[in-house]
Every structure is written in structure tokens, then in C-alpha cells.
Amino acid sequence: MQGKFISFVLLFMAVTLVVSPDIAFRVTAVSVQVSEREFSGVCPHRFTFTGHIRANRRGTVRYRWLRSDGATSPEKILVFKAAGTRTVSTYWQLGGGTGSYPGRWQAIEILAPNSLTSNRAVFSLNCVPLMMAPTYEISGAIDSGPDGNLLAGRQVKVIVRRGGATFLSRSITLDTHGRGSYSFGRPLGGGRYQLVVEKLPYTGSSTLNVCFRGSEPADRWVELSTTNRHAIDQDFTILFVIGWDRGPCW
């Protein structure tokens, strides 16, 4: 009986080893997206690339970025603590004066634990001299509501982002009613832009504790094109609270 039991245990272990081998660490998928597929306007211009790398379990990945001009990035390391997808990013800034750059791309090459190459994230750039570039505009007003006078002299910053990166910004000092305005022109070009408002440090003297709570809306998105060059009335309202018993926020 004991011999049969030992034989059964050995058989069970053998079957387990066959059907449950150690899973080799691998990158199972990799892809790349570009922030915008084409841009026509004043150069240089920056394109942002976002990569997604998926692995089947914990381990270390070695990879690099490839470019259509033959350039490659230094080798990079990405550590997975478990199976899943990690995000990586880079950018390519190019162009100056005039010129066209059609069909440029970036991709990710996985070097280890296995060899794998992503899709090519393709983009095109057309550089237009500043004096010849069409005029685009984004403008709006800043308000602070009925108690806006309490924000007099404080500053906010309106930020224009494109492809996730800051493209332009402007500081605004609020007037005696807590109001202000902004306008962006050159070097805007056609494309999709995100607008956000942030506070700037207060350098004046006041015993009033003002706590910035963001803006309404939290952000705005505008689309500019050759047939729609002006995005006006992109207004924001500053959200804030006042309290002498609060810690200084602004």
C-alpha cells in the first residue's frame, strides 16, 4: 500500500510539472500614440509620444525609442511589479523657419526579455514663417464672483496646453473687482488646445486668508483651424474660500 501511495505522489508531481510550468516573463504587447498627427504653423514644434507596454508578470523590461531619422534613444529600464500595462513617454521637437516634414514617426523597440517592436506613430509637420503664418487667437475673461474684490491684487496664470505639454502661459493680476482678461495669438496654429487656470504665489501684504479652490470650468478645450481661427469668450470663474481661522493658502 505504501509503495502505491508513493507512486501516486510521484505521478501527481510529474503531472503538475507538465501542466503548470513556470511562465516565462514576456512583453505581450506594445503600442505608441502621438499627440497630434499633423501640425502647420510656426516652428519649432514639439510632438509628444505616449507608449503602452504590457507584460505577463513581474520582471524588468529593457527598451528604447526609435525615430524615422535613424536616431535611437539610450536604453531604458521599466520594472513591472506584477502583470499589467505601464505607460512611458517622450517627445520630438523639430522644424525651424520653413520646411515640411511629412511622414515622420517614433516607435518603441523592446530589447528584453523578448524582442518586439510597436507600431509607428506617424506625424507630419509643415513649418510656416512667423510673418506669413495666419493669425489665430484664444481669449477670454477671468471673474471671481460677487466677492471678487477680496482677490484684488492676486495673480492667476492661464496655461495653454497642446499634446499634454505646456505651449503658452500668461500671468494675470486681478483688478479691484477680482477680474482680468487674457489673449493668446502667435505662435498658435491649427489644432486642439486645453486651457487651465492656476494660482500664482501672492506677494502682497494681507491678513486675509484666501484659499484657491480651482476654477469653473476646471478646463476648456478649443479647436482651431484655417476656417475657425478664433476662440473667444473662453471665460473662467475663480473658486475660493475666505477664513481668518484657516491656514494661508494663497
pLDDT value for 19:
41
Same domain, 235 and 148: yes
Same domain, 41 and 122: yes
Same domain, 206 and 121: no
> Is residue 48 in a domain?
yes
Phi, psi of 13, rounded to the nearest 5 degrees: -65, -40
Integer Cα distance of 53 and 221 in angstroms: 29
Same domain, 116 and 181: no
Q: From the CB of residue 159, how many other CB atoms can be counted at a distance below 10 Å?
A: 16
Number of domains forming the structure of the chain: 2
Same domain, 99 and 161: no
Q: What is the SS3 assignment for 148? A: helix
Retrieve residue 240's grid coordinates. Answer: 475660493
Looking at 80, 107, 127, the residue that finishes a domain is 127
pLDDT value for 1:
55
pLDDT value for 18:
45
Range of the domain at 121: 25-127
Q: Determine contact, residues 84/119, Cβ cutoff 8 Å.
A: no
Residue type, 11: L
> Is residue 29 in a domain?
yes
The reply to whether the predicted model has a pTM over 0.95 is no
Looking at 127, 159, 176, the residue that finishes a domain is 127
> Is residue 13 in a domain?
no
Domain containing residue 123: CATH number: 2.60.40.10
Q: What is the mean pLDDT of each run of 10 residues along the chain (250 residues)?
A: 52 47 89 90 88 97 98 97 97 87 97 98 89 85 94 95 86 96 86 94 80 94 91 96 71
pLDDT value for 15:
45
Looking at 127, 161, 184, the residue that finishes a domain is 127
pLDDT value for 9:
47
Burial (Cβ within 10 Å: 0-12, 13-18, ≥19) of residue 175:
middle
pLDDT in tens, 91-108: 999 987 778 999 999 999
